[in-house]
Structure 1
Amino acid sequence: MIASYSITGLASQEHTVQVWLIVILLVDWVVANTPRDNFCRSIPTVHGGVLWGDSVNKRFYLYGGEWTGGTADAVFTVLGYDVLYNHWDDFGLPSIKPPPQVAAYGAGVGVSEIGSGYYYGGYISNASMSGWTQPRKMSSNFYSYDYDSNDFTQAANPDDLPRAEGAMVWIPAGDARGLLVYMGGVVSQNNTVQPQGFDEIFVYDPTDNSWLKQSATGEVPQNRRQFCMDVAWAPDRSSYNMYRFTPLESPLYLWGGHKVTPPEVNVTSYNDIYILSMPSFNWVKAYPGNSGNYTLPPKFGHYAASCNMVKSMSQMLVIGGTYTDTNDCDLAYEIWGQHNFWTGTNQNAGDNTSYYWALYNPNITTNVVPIDVYNVTGGDKMGGANLTAPQKGFDPGNELLQTLFDRKPVIPDRKPTRDVDMNSSDTSSLSGGAIAGIVIGSVAGLGLLLLAWYYLGKRVLHRREERRQERYSISSQTGNMAGLSSVRNTPMSMISRQKSAGTRGTASSNYPSPPPVEQGPPVELNAEQVPGELPSGDPATPRIINELPAEH
């Protein structure tokens, strides 16, 4: 077994390293000698795919992605991870004929409420699909997968144009199956790959298998791809808010992402938050600053992360991804690379305009609308939006879209299709994975006992906690950021076109493939280089995003 272990933050490591080495060797021995289903060893390692979650049946389904070896070595079958019993299941070949053209870096979303997974667009290649002999190409395919029946369906697409590297979310509006919302990334038109602007929002109605397109206004984000986003909705469902990290109220929260040209800008990727409020289809800038095209300095630019709503949509965890302008690792101190964005401002006060980023709090389980949204839509943090349509009205022919947003569907509760009661009599026997977990846990407990003598009488951790609390109590008055550092509301400048002399390369009509997954050896940043989620000290200076002149 090959593994990497890191021991940090100890005053003296000599004896503890020896103890942990014993524990590691014991754990490795247990794992190596625990029966494992050989099938689990054959699960492909992919990037650019999606995991569709089914909270009712306690499973994840794997779809899409490119094999890290460079070639898809097996025909696609539906693979599901069993959360309860810690193993994978193969549900066989898709029933649809012809079978799905499996892609990577498309937009995927799993919807437990209706028992369906969706995947739109992406890139098809021999790395994503076994037997593919054509060059890598962008896809316009849109597939749905029914969790309960194990059936794939090729659904209607918006306009037959291939798209990739955008994002999609589900909202409980319209009829009983809700609505899907897609945006961003790139689109191929007239043999030219172009950015898919965020002033154009696509809405899919699963009940009618049809798409509608609506213009968006406000603080529209810059073009980008491989951003992440998730959605929350007001307690009264008067709006839906999409949060895009770099990203119905319903606010839709959007974060980060990799730049898409044209226009050429002086950053590679972003670290900012935008919120799309629907049904007003109005973009609001949440971070950094409340208006203008500001982002953080290049070393904080971030893409290919995941945005994950938790605790009844009160908080959104931003996890993973790649920093384009540094080989340094993500923040490991206190938050372990999991940055927490409060959807209703810090501690969900709803009325704080200065900061959204703060440490995760499992005791907050209510979602409210942030002041940056209800200042535009009306109402308050509990909802009651007055702006329930775009300021200039819905686009011509979109009367149906307005009707769908006026509805608050009753979505029936799904019932599990298998026994999910871990305490039932027929599930009393433990799987090999469960046995391994118990044994490993026991070994780990032994290791902790061996370490106890080392820590007795020492107050290192206690003093560190006191210092941390003191630092956080001070810095929490100033706010914080996602990524590697923090920002206060300091003067920031706008993104604007530059007329200065100089040459830059013109935008290529052939947009490049996603950046490679493998990078140089990472370097772990220390606490002095990287402040925590609620840092003290001097903040980073927000960066001006300028459009750069093209070559002539």
Structure 2
Amino acid sequence: MGSSWNWKTNVSISQRARHESGSVEGMSWPVNVHDGALFGGTDISDTLYMFGGTTMSFNQSFPYFLIPPTEQYALWTYDIPGDLWTPFDTSSSGITIPSWGASSETTDQGLAFYLGGQIDGGTANTTQYLGEDTVGLGGMVVLDTTSSVTKNVTVEDTIKSNRKGASMVYVNNFGDAGVLILLGGKSDFDGYLPMDEISIFDVKTTDLSDDASGEKNKWYQQNATGSIPSARSDFCLVAAPSQDNSSTSIYMYGGRSDGVIFDDIYVLSIPSFTWVKVFVGEDARWSVTCHFVPPRQMITIGGGGKSSNISADCDWEQKSLAVLDLSTIGWGSIYDANAPPYQVPDAVVKVIGGSPEGNASMIKPSAGWAEDALATVFTIRTVTSDPSEPPSATTSTISSPTSSSSSNDSAETTKSISVGAIAGIAIGGVALIALIGGSIFFFLRSRRRNQQQHQELLIEKDGLPDYSTAAFLGSAELLGTPHAAELSARDNDSGPNCKPGQPGPVEKDAGAVQGRHTSNRVNTPIEME
């Protein structure tokens, strides 16, 4: 990621084999899951934190299919230099293994968050009795990555934490410690949640003690205006601040609702809480992960296409990648390591005022704050001329635009959003996705150390724990020496993520993919928007 590349011609990646390390319940490493989260820890950490996730029911016929033998180990850490996986027993905190929740992290503060989600038949061998049923989860799990301490924090009912398929992004250029922005998803009680209802967590109030109460772990609600997106789940978020921090654009891409898959991009501009539609296409995506690569590019990885059933629908983004310029809203195949500074899209500037460099004139909601305290929470931090100094908080002064901005983004939800090296572990894992995601992670880790930039990533792991009854089928690639692969353009075959006989991959917005499939979560016919 330190140099430019074009996935059509010269994406070069290397694979690192997984080796046995510490074990628990016969597991040398966590099994392959989706809909969990991968956190990167602090800016100087060499440890990854894998939390939650579930196995995919339609993969049961695969030779490497495994279900976790116990649900008490919701958290695994991976020491990168030592190549060592370590499980943590989270049962004493009342935490089981969640999936399909919303996650984000604050790498500058060493905190990671996972809200809501569910347990299902793929969570552990003790939950297989659920079959196709699910049990929704409420509350928010907070992980201190400096100590691996976890706590399930109670969330007030108005936030509707019992939601699935939502997304959450960290924005750190407001207030004393930044905020988490929670959007969308679906609730067992309320169905799909409207996108004008924005939930906000004040990171400064985070408290993992047993007596946390009152203004601790504080959530707020704020209504948004503008071009409100359709309610949905399984979308992704990234956030990019203007050069002077006067506004932050939260980009929402893709997703799905009952019978509809979306190919659109909306920007939620804060602190005005105004939605602006900036893109609509014809190549819908859902359960895709988005990764903000400073200063102005978003890389999407994996996900599903126009079918809502990934088991029958290969990945239609060739090489599992697409690259978006967040300023011009132009899709392409080229990652530019020397991209110019971020500029607020013209469509957003027309609504919030100012210029592409910043100086937004709308710096509060048009109908006012839902609570007076939010005016303090969204105090805008000025950009300092000395990048070694932290930004200061002020409500009255915005400095002149500069070429460097205060760090802020998503993982990813994802993660990702998004600030923090966090990845929602994607549906339909492919080794090539893991390798590309790994490159993004290590590049961003280096940039965070040197420039205090924060970022989302995707790393998905494969391999075969030694307790598997199919262990004898393990290949040399899984159990042997590392190897490298050069991903050249493939014009005449089915591409790296399609099975033989399936239609070949298409580029972004290159036309419709035919066919209808039933979904693992949606049983209605699929349309596209």
TM-score, L = length of structure 1:
0.60
Of 274, 287, 299 in structure 2, the residue corresponding to residue 317 of structure 1 is: 299
Instruction: For structure 2, list consecutive stretches of 5 or more residues without a partner in the other structure.
Output: 1-7, 57-64, 206-216, 383-389, 393-406, 408-444, 447-476, 514-524
Which residue identity lines up with residue 198 of structure 1 in the other structure? M
Q: For 1:297-329, what per-residue CA distance to the aligned partner results, in whole angstroms no more than 9, with x for missing partners? A: xxx3221000100133x1001110012438553
Say whether 1:381 aligns with 2:356.
yes
SS in 2 for 1:379: coil
What secondary structure is seen at the aligned counterpart in 2 of 1:224? coil
Highest RCO, 1 vs 2 (Cα 8 Å, sep ≥ 6): 2
In structure 2, distance between residues paired with 1:114 and 1:184: 26
Any residues of structure 2 matched to 1:385-534 within 5 Å, and which? 385-395=360-370, 398-408=371-381, 410=390, 521=499, 523=501, 525-526=503-504, 530=506, 532=507
What does residue range 354-365 of structure 1 map to in structure 2 within 5 Å?
Answer: 355=330, 357=332, 359-364=334-339
Q: Is residue 60 of structure 2 the alignment partner of residue 64 of structure 1? A: no
2:194 is the alignment partner of 1:197: yes
Which residue is equivalent to 1:477? none
Q: Secondary structure at the match of 1:110?
A: strand
The verdict on how the C-alpha distance between 1:522 and 1:81 changes in structure 2, with shifts beyond 3 A counting, is: farther
Aligned to 1:136: 134
Match of 2:21 among 37, 41, 58: 37
User: Quick one: structure 1 residues 272 and 214, their matched pair in 2 at CA, closer, same or farther if it must change by over 3 Å?
Assistant: same
Q: Are 1:124 and 2:119 counterparts? A: yes
Note closer, same or farther for the CA distance 1:357–1:218 as it changes in structure 2 (3 Å cut): farther
- Partner secondary structure for residue 318 of structure 1: strand
1:270 is matched with which residue: 220, 238, 262?
262
Deviation at 1:342, TM superposition (A): 0.9
Whole-angstrom CA distance in 2 between matches of 1:212 and 1:276:
17
Partner of 2:346: 371
Amino acid corresponding to residue 64 of structure 1 in structure 2? G
Unpaired stretches in structure 1, ≥5 consecutive residues = 1-7, 10-26, 240-249, 261-266, 289-294, 347-354, 414-419, 422-435, 449-460, 468-483, 485-518, 542-547
SS state of the match for residue 207, structure 1? helix
Task: Return structure 1 stretches of 4+ with deviation > 6 angstroms.
Answer: none
Q: How does 1:1-80 map to 2 (within 5 A)?
A: 36-37=20-21, 39=23, 41-54=28-41, 55-68=43-56, 71-74=67-70, 75-80=72-77
Residue of structure 2 equivalent to 1:167? 167
Contact persistence 1:255–1:274 (CA under 8 A): yes
Bigger Rg, structure 1 or 2: 1
Matched positions, count:
377
| Cα drift, residue 35 of structure 1 | 6.6
Is 2:98 aligned against 1:103?
A: yes
Give the equivalent residue in structure 2 for 1:244: none
1:440 Cα deviation from its structure 2 partner: 5.7
Change (3 A) 1:358 1:273: farther
- How does 1:216-231 map onto structure 2 within 5 Å? 216-231=224-239
Q: Percent identity?
A: 24
- Report the alpha carbon displacement of residue 251 of structure 1 after superposing the two structures with TM: 0.5
Write the distance in 1 (CA, Å) between the matches of 2:138 and 2:107: 25
In structure 1, the partner of 2:326 is 343
Checking the alignment, whether the CA contact within 8 Å between 1:305 and 1:322 is kept in structure 2 is yes
Amino acid aligned to 1:186: K
Distance 2:220 2:293 in 1: 29
Are 1:328 and 1:522, in contact at CA under 8 Å, matched by a contact in 2? no
- Structure 2 CA distance for aligned equivalents of residues 211 and 70 of structure 1: 38
Letter in 1 for 2:325: W
